[in-house]
Structure 1
Amino acid sequence: MKKITLALVALLAVIGSVSAQKYGHLNYGNLLNAMPAVKDADKQLEDFQKALVTKGEEMSTKLKDGYLAFLKDQQSGNFSPAKLQERQAQLEAEQTAIQSYEEAVRKQISDKREALLKPILDRVNKAIEDTAKEKGFAMVFDTSSFNAILFAKDSEDLFPVIKAKLGIQ
């Protein structure tokens, strides 16, 4: 009987401690959108991307012009088959170079995005973690995902607290 009573007391203590935990929620996407640093990073990334795309467009225009000249020369019959074959190989090499450039651009943009956003995301995550610890939250949920939380009882929105901690007006 004594063991059953102790087990019941222990069970009630566990249930009581579980129900006493605090949960918070935060819309991570809205927080990032409110940060001037994210807007600055987006602008830098956009400028970087435009410069790379402009060079790619120039390469494509040169290839297109070369291809049209090749077709014209081919139809005129003024060039030997060997010369036409040489020009065709040159155009194929240019096309391969453009494809390689496009792949390199995708990687460069991805690397630049990561380099620009990583320090910002680290700072935001640290602010969330620090706030959760300061306020005694067991968990903080991200509400930016659709249907991430269907029901939340006693949940506190941390958006204004984290925003203030990050110095966002």
Structure 2
Amino acid sequence: MRKLINVFFVATGLLFTANIANAQQKVGHINSEEVFSNLPEAKAAQVTLEALGKTKQADIDGMIKEYQTKLAVAQAKEKTLSEANKEVVGKELQTAGAELQDLEKRITDARTKASQEVGAKQGELFQPIQAKVANAISSVAKEKGLAYVFDIANGQGGNNLVYWEGGDDITASVKAKLNITATAKPAAPKK
């Protein structure tokens, strides 16, 4: 609620300031989701990330299968426990328990490491793409004489632009600057 109130005051301040300096500052907006969804480099980077994620998940799934197999063996061995073989089977169960704990730790570590590797790869792949898009946005904004450009994409942590009337939509210009020809449109934001 507090964030909404803050956004309201910021938007009100911007509108008030824009009315005072209307001739000096122009406002534009862009839908970055539309730009990225049509950018070939972003699509290729996403495919690479998905392949890496699947590889890491397959490794983890193999470890989980190994864990489940060893657990089933230990549970079956536990059913054979009797007074006559208590010492031998008990030691085997302790060894199996230690192996299962070790395997559980390895699975947890593998998940953490996979998450870190995928995150690092995402940064490595998308940082140059984001810089390219940012340069195109900056270039178009300068060409159109815009002082501010708001991103109206819903997926950007929530749409911080509560309302707009008019303004220049520079999405098409940025896509043209990036030589994007496809037109897959994500859902339009609500005004």
TM-score (norm 2): 0.75
Greater shift in the superposed pair: 142-151 or 31-40: 142-151
Size of the aligned set, in residue pairs, is 155
Deviation at 1:83, TM superposition (A): 2.4
Give the residue type in structure 1 aligned to 2:124. A
Task: Write out per-residue CA displacement over residues 120-163 of structure 1, whole angstroms, 9 at most, x where no aligned residue.
Answer: 0110001111111122111111111446141334x111011111
Aligned equivalent of 2:124: 115
Task: Write out per-residue CA displacement over residues 58-97 of structure 1, whole angstroms, 9 at most, x where no aligned residue.
Answer: 0000010001001111211254322221221111111111
In the alignment, structure 2 segments of 5+ residues that lack a partner are 1-16, 182-191
User: Structure 2 residue aligned with 1:84, among 93, 96, 99?
Assistant: 93
1:161 aligns with 2:165: no
Aligned to 2:165, the other structure's residue is in SS state: coil
Give the residue type in structure 1 aligned to 2:164. F
Task: Write out per-residue CA displacement over residues 13-58 of structure 1, whole angstroms, 9 at most, x where no aligned residue.
Answer: x999811121111111111111111111111111111111001000
Over 3 Å counting, the alpha-carbon distance change for 1:25 and 1:41 in structure 2 is: same
Give the residue type in structure 1 aligned to 2:174. I
Structure with larger Rg: 1
Over 3 Å counting, the alpha-carbon distance change for 1:127 and 1:15 in structure 2 is: closer
* Structure 2 Cα separation of the partners of residues 123 and 63 of structure 1: 45
* Structure 1 Cα separation of the partners of residues 143 and 119 of structure 2: 35
Aligned equivalent of 1:19: 22
* Structure 2 Cα separation of the partners of residues 80 and 42 of structure 1: 50
In the alignment, structure 1 segments of 5+ residues that lack a partner are 1-13
Give the residue type in structure 2 aligned to 1:50. K
1:50 aligns with 2:59: no
1:148 aligns with 2:176: no
Give the residue type in structure 2 aligned to 1:148. L
Aligned to 1:24, the other structure's residue is in SS state: strand
Aligned to 2:149, the other structure's residue is in SS state: strand
1:99 aligns with 2:108: yes
Over 3 Å counting, the alpha-carbon distance change for 1:68 and 1:29 in structure 2 is: same
Quick check: 1:24–1:157 contact (8 Å CA) kept in 2? yes
Quick check: 1:25–1:140 contact (8 Å CA) kept in 2? yes
4+ residue segments displaced more than 2 Å: 14-17, 77-80
Give the residue type in structure 1 aligned to 2:118. I
Aligned to 1:141, the other structure's residue is in SS state: strand
Aligned to 2:164, the other structure's residue is in SS state: coil
Aligned equivalent of 2:66: 62
